[in-house]
Amino acid sequence: MKPIRYGMIGGGQGAFIGGVHRTAAAIAGNWQLVAGALSSTPEKAKASGAEIGLDPARTYGSWAEMLEREAALPADQRIEAVSIVTPNHMHAPPAIAAMEAGFDVIVDKPLANSLANAQAIADAAARTGRRIAVTHTYTGYPLVKQARRLVSSGQFGKVRRVAVKYTQDWLSRAADLEGNKQAAWRVDPAQSGDAGAFGDIGTHAANLAEFITGEDITAICAELTMLPGRAIDDDGAALFRLSGGGKGTLTASQVLVGDINDLAIDIYCDEAGLHWRQEEPNTLRIGYRDKPTEIWHAGANRAYLANDVLAIQRTPGGHPEGYLEAFANIYRAFGEQLRGAPAPQDEPGYATMDDALKGMKFLRASLESSRRGAVWVDL
């Protein structure tokens, strides 16, 4: 299979997520970075391209220049897809322009800085027929996929309750905003959108709950708060209802001291509880009332895992795979489908436009609920 030739928008010097995407694409093995508009200034974009060894002739000063010039190249040379790793407010313009120029798109979550801009991206995808994937990273973990399979099998009964949290402490001090590029855009509503921590990591928590249960969040009652002097939420919690009748709680915070990057989820069904934690991603704990607790391990030699789950693992059990490999599984799946492979029946291997729009509706409802005094709001 020939690699997908892609260009990257954003992800230059000082950025975090751009390097993650490039590494994940390289691990996936079916993507090749050939062009880029890596920064908002031409000078920094050129310097960023040189730093990662990108061809100077295909290191562009702006994303508009990249799309125009790449589209003019012969079909066997031009990029085939675009990876967008900019702050949230700069997702919609290049995503729409890329699809209109004939390129498929993979974009970091959340889909956009507002539901209106997210819908504009969805409309462009429908209008152009181009394909788009959103990188909700944590659904790429093998044991998350296995948990989804176990819940959907019905062997544990219906989902009664979900408890999901994504808590960090990297913005817990006022000084954390000083000279910190990653913090600066996340706490600025003009760049991140109306939601702060709930947009940045709360969307991951909500997506994980929907992914494993196979159900939609239908209503939410949220309270979003912020430290003094902040302009956007950095802490919040919510109650939610699921389409299958279950209930849930969700916490998303970037100011909880002592929690480094603690994404954890508990799914309680009629006959068992499933427990997974991203800081220990290679184990899944299943608890029962009348028999011993089970510990499931990830690994390419764990024969009790589903075949498609085994297929996305690269090492035997006990050789841990983590965040970058999960990200790579998303790139791998999207790349295979761009080359004509059929999408798996259960789920395509990445967040779809429908998934991403659900995330934006979750944010809209959370913000509305909090503004109205933590009342219930339907999605």
pLDDT at 190 over 90: yes
Which residue type sits at 259? Answer: D
Query: What is the average pLDDT score of the chain?
Result: 96
Mean pLDDT of 311-339: 96
Cβ-contact 82, 94 below 8 angstroms = yes
Computed over its alpha carbons, how large is the radius of gyration of the chain? 20
In this prediction, residue 40 carries a pLDDT of 87
**DSSP character for 157?**
-
So what's the pLDDT on residue 346? Answer: 85
218 Cβ contact partners less than 8 Å away, ≥ 6 residues apart? 240, 241, 242, 243, 378, 379
Averaged pLDDT for residues 370-379: 98
Q: Give the pLDDT band (50/70/90) at residue 1.
A: confident
Which pLDDT tens digit goes with each residue over 62-101? 999 999 999 999 999 999 999 999 999 999 999 999 999 9
Query: Is residue 356 scored above 90 in pLDDT?
Result: yes
Half-sphere exposure of 42 (CA within 13 A, CB side): 6
Q: What is the pLDDT of residue 75?
A: 96
**Residue partners of 247: CB distance under 8 A and separation at least 6:** 160, 161, 162, 239, 240, 241
| All structural domains of the chain | 4-130 (3.40.50.720), 142-316+352-371 (3.30.360.10)
Considering the chain, what percentage of its residues have pLDDT values greater than 90? 96
Q: How big is the CA angle at 192 (ends 190 and 197), to the nearest 5 degrees?
A: 130
- Tens of pLDDT, residue by residue over 36-51, are 999 989 999 999 999 9
Confidence bin at 17 (pLDDT 50/70/90): very high
Whether the per-residue pLDDT at 112 is higher than 90: the answer is yes
At residue 326, the pLDDT reads: 97
Contact 6, 34 (CB under 8 A): yes
The per-residue pLDDT for 351 is 97
The confidence band for 343, taking pLDDT boundaries of 50, 70 and 90, is: confident
Verdict on whether the full-model pTM lies above 0.85: yes
The predicted model gives 278-307 an average pLDDT of 97
